[in-house]
């Protein structure tokens, strides 16, 4: 009898949570749940009771409920997920820009754990892990049916400990093991340097808590050193995104006025818009923004805002195409729901969901062009199982094992040889001639 009441109290609490979510996020008016909903919840209750009483081994009711919630989220889209209290703490750590691990952004592509992009200056990046690599094993154990949260937990760990990931890549004859030594991953959000002829270069690796402030500081320092910048190359390639408010702040660094981004959801509470404000210190020099298939979410917002406002020229390849908004809903026990509640729209009203930002000048990275000579096999939002469809849908090899130059020399060589950066700088040096040619 005690078990009966305990079970049903838990079920009742679960139903109450569902109803609260429905009332808070599903409608602006309190309305009764229809009979079909009650019938479905009754069926759920019956199945849960049967599993707990009759399953071959004893199972914890809480585990079953969490599994049910996770399954519900999985039926929606790749970005909606349920996080336990522990998993939510991991997310908080990541957005602050310092955590222990190997340094990769991952997703599930056709139910296979796949690398979106390695993070610069991390063990994974230095080992030659590439976008699109499939992680089929972690420490010898298959990743079949693994969740993103489970994978993150396995890949992260104390500094100097090792983890082995087995990678499948089309260019490899067979899967290859990479033994990586975990490190404290401190992501430097903004890197900058002054190039020849007064051209400033800013690289944003991800959007974290201080990205906007760090970018503004970098631009001011370069402008003072150059005695007025002649142009800026803003590098957003392989930037997986991050905090929405920081993408707005970054856009505002370059815009005196105009819309930056708007969001639209099923309910009015999700409809928002953000516009630039004139701080009086915005740079007036021309800007070229670099994007590629690894530029997602917040980086696409910045590219779209600068493109639609006529403030920057976009160069590179079509971006990832993640145009959905996730809202974090904290639960009482410290767990959280990351729920897709709206879509992003650029100032001109374009949705980038599964479409991405199309560059004004299409130019592939030189090495990438060689490696994908038979076609563009890059991972994008539209490849993810269960992604929110677009309107249209609805109607590099690993480094050779040779002597490696010191880190700074290697970075400098890569920078100088980067054809996209070189093209952007050349455009800025001859901006007036270039723009005259476009008008003609």
> Which residues are marked as active site?
297, 308, 322
Q: Convert 388-415 into a string of H (helix), E (strand) and C (coil).
A: CCCHHHHCCCCCCCCCCCCHHHHHHHHH
Contact 90, 338 (CB under 8 A): no
Contacts of residue 131, defined as CB under 8 A and 6 or more positions apart, other chains included, come to 115, 116, 117, 118, 238, 293, 294, 378, 379
> Which has the closest alpha carbon to 144: 161, 168, 120, 125?
168
Q: What is the token pair recorded at 126? A: 């230095």
Angle between helix 61-74 and 35-54 (nearest 10): 130
User: Hey, is 362 helix, strand or coil?
Assistant: strand
Question: What burial class does residue 137 get, using C-beta atoms within 10 Å of its C-beta: 0-12 exposed, 13-18 middle, 19+ buried?
Answer: middle
CA angle at 366 for the pair 365 and 369, rounded to the nearest 5°: 85
φ, ψ of residue 108 to 5 degrees: the values are -105, 115
């Amino acid at each position: 009898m005690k078990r009966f009441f305990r079970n049903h109290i838990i079920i009742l609490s679960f139903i109450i949570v569902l109803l609260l979510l429905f009332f808070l996020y599903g409608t602006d008016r309190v309305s009764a749940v229809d009979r079909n909903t009650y019938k479905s919840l009754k069926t759920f209750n019956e199945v849960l009771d049967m599993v707990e009483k009759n399953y071959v081994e004893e199972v914890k009711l809480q585990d079953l409920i969490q599994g049910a919630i996770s399954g519900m989220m999985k039926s929606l889209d790749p970005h909606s997920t349920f996080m336990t209290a522990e998993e939510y703490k991991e997310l908080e750590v990541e957005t602050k820009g310092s955590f222990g691990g190997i340094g990769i952004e991952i997703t599930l592509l056709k139910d296979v754990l796949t690398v979106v992009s390695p993070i610069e200056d991390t063990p994974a990046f230095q080992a030659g892990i590439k976008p699109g690599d499939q992680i089929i094993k972690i420490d010898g154990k298959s990743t079949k049916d693994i969740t993103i949260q489970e994978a993150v937990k396995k890949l992260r760990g104390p500094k100097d400990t090792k983890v082995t990931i087995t990678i499948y890549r089309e260019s490899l004859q067979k899967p290859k093991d990479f033994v990586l030594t975990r490190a404290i991953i401190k992501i430097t959000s903004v890197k900058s340097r002054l190039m020849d002829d007064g051209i400033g270069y800013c690289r944003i690796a991800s959007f974290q808590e201080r990205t906007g402030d760090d970018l503004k500081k970098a631009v001011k320092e370069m402008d003072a050193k150059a005695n007025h910048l002649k142009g800026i190359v803003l590098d957003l390639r392989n930037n997986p995104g991050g905090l929405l408010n920081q993408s707005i702040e970054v856009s505002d660094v370059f815009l005196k006025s105009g819309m930056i981004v708007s969001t639209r959801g099923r309910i009015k509470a999700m409809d928002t818009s953000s516009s630039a404000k004139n701080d009086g210190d915005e740079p007036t020099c021309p800007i070229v923004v670099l994007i590629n298939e690894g530029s997602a979410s917040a980086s696409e917002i910045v590219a779209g805002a600068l493109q639609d406002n006529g403030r920057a020229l976009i160069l590179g390849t079509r971006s990832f195409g993640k145009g959905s908004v996730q809202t974090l809903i904290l639960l009482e026990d410290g767990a959280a729901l990351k729920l897709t509640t709206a879509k992003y729209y650029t100032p001109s009203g374009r949705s980038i969901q599964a479409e991405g930002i199309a560059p004004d000048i299409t130019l592939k990275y030189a090495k990438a062009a060689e490696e994908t000579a038979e076609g563009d096999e890059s991972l994008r939002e539209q490849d993810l199982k269960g992604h929110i469809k677009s309107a249209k849908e609805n109607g590099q090899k690993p480094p050779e094992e040779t002597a490696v130059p010191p880190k700074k020399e290697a970075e400098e060589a890569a920078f100088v040889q980067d054809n996209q950066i070189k093209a952007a700088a050349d455009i800025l040096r001859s901006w007036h001639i270039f723009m005259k040619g476009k008008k003609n």
